[in-house]
């Protein structure tokens, strides 16, 4: 390995094509060496656009390539466990799309294999690397809004009607790790735990389920020690909601509907004091959070830094997601 990380990509998924492959190619410390796809012809455009020299028709071929240092896994949720274990066993560091796994048990198995092999494993929560996210985390930790006591978060969108009705999409298949909670609710659980700085002690939830048994529309509540509460919304059938608010004893921070994916435009947030109806808008310069994420991971692979969020954080996130799923299905409060 030189001073740059050689990446392999397992799958020609939309998130890989639109966001991560280009971010790696723009990064200061990595490049995409190989892409694996079951349909190489369909990947011709992304290969040409990004100057990828090696294309394989199997994921295993990427893992067998000695030139690959790390792999990015954008596969459907139910494939995260098996291909992460295979990649780690093949000596590759792994950046895996969120959610890291389908259950906390799977995430524990993945973390254990990473520890056994001495390799790095990180969940691709890119929002944590955006300068706005880090600035908000800093001012909350510094007490600028007092004691954070409430987080409201939503990540919802309206899936195309033809996709919803056909039911063929992986997000709509129970055996493929589908459902709004895992797909987008994982962001809300993550940002809530991150900003409050603690783990919930109990959760409740209600959901609307599709014909295949996956949640299409879910609302959950989280309870923390010290009287702190959180509310989250996740949906495939609502208009766009992509925002969060963190409320403290002395003020509140509101984000517009680009809270997790502001792309590269200037990012704003509003800080309101305790009794203000209208707060002050603050602007953070635009940034590519995907590029910042892969640069951080590459730095960690190169031994220049520790991982920003290790597998233990992802396991904790999955435990909350498991509990919310159980609460929605049973109608009971689930204690953690």
What is the per-residue pLDDT across 170-200, written as a single tens digit (0 to 9) for each? 999 999 999 999 999 999 999 999 999 999 9
Instruction: Provide the percentage of residues in the chain whose pLDDT is more than 70.
Output: 100
Backbone torsions φ then ψ of 284, nearest 5 degrees: -110, 130
What local confidence, expressed as pLDDT, does residue 129 receive? 98
What is the per-residue pLDDT across 242-256, written as a single tens digit (0 to 9) for each? 999 999 999 999 999
What local confidence, expressed as pLDDT, does residue 1 receive? 61
Beta-carbon contacts of residue 304 (< 8 Å; ≥ 6 apart): none
Is pLDDT above 90 for 147?
yes
What local confidence, expressed as pLDDT, does residue 168 receive? 87
Angle, CA of 281, 287 and 289, to the nearest 5°: 110
- Domain boundaries, given as residue ranges, for the chain: 5-125, 127-291+318-335
What is the per-residue pLDDT across 66-84, written as a single tens digit (0 to 9) for each? 999 999 999 999 999 999 9
Determine the CATH number of domain 5-125. Answer: 3.40.50.720
**Average pLDDT rounded to a whole number, residues 286-313:** 97
Is 127-291+318-335 in CATH node 3.40.50.2300?
A: no
Predicted TM-score of the model (pTM): 0.97
Mean per-residue pLDDT over the chain, rounded = 97
């Amino acid at each position: 390995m030189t001073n740059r990380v050689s990446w392999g990509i397992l799958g020609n998924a939309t998130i890989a094509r639109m966001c991560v492959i280009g971010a790696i190619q723009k990064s200061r410390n990595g490049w995409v060496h190989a892409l694996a796809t079951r349909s190489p012809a369909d990947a011709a455009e992304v290969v040409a656009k990004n100057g990828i020299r090696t294309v394989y028709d199997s994921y295993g071929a990427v893992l067998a390539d000695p030139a690959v240092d790390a792999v990015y896994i954008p596969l459907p949720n139910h494939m995260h466990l098996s291909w992460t274990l295979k990649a780690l066993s093949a000596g590759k560091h792994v950046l895996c799309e969120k959610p890291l796994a389908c259950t906390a048990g799977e995430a524990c198995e993945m973390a254990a294999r990473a520890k056994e092999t001495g390799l790095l494993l990180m969940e691709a929560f890119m929002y944590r690397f955006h300068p706005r996210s880090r600035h908000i985390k800093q001012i909350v930790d510094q007490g600028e809004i007092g004691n954070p006591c409430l987080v409201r978060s939503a990540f919802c969108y309206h899936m195309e009607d033809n996709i919803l009705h056909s039911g063929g999409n992986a997000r709509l298949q129970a055996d493929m790790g589908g459902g709004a909670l895992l797909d987008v609710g994982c962001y809300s659980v993550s940002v809530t735990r991150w900003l409050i700085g603690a783990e919930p002690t109990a959760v409740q939830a209600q959901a609307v389920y599709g014909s295949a048994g996956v949640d299409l529309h879910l609302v959950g509540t989280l309870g923390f020690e010290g009287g702190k509460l959180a509310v989250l919304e996740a949906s495939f059938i609502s208009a766009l909601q992509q925002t969060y608010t963190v409320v403290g004893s002395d003020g509140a921070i509101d984000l517009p509907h680009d809270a997790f994916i502001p792309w590269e435009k200037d990012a704003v947030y509003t800080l309101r004091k305790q009794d203000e109806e209208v707060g002050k808008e603050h602007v953070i310069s635009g940034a590519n959070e995907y590029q910042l994420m892969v640069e951080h991971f590459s730095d960690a692979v190169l031994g220049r830094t520790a991982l920003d969020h290790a597998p233990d954080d992802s396991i904790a996130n999955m435990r909350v997601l498991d509990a919310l799923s159980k609460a929605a299905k049973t109608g009971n409060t689930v204690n953690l």
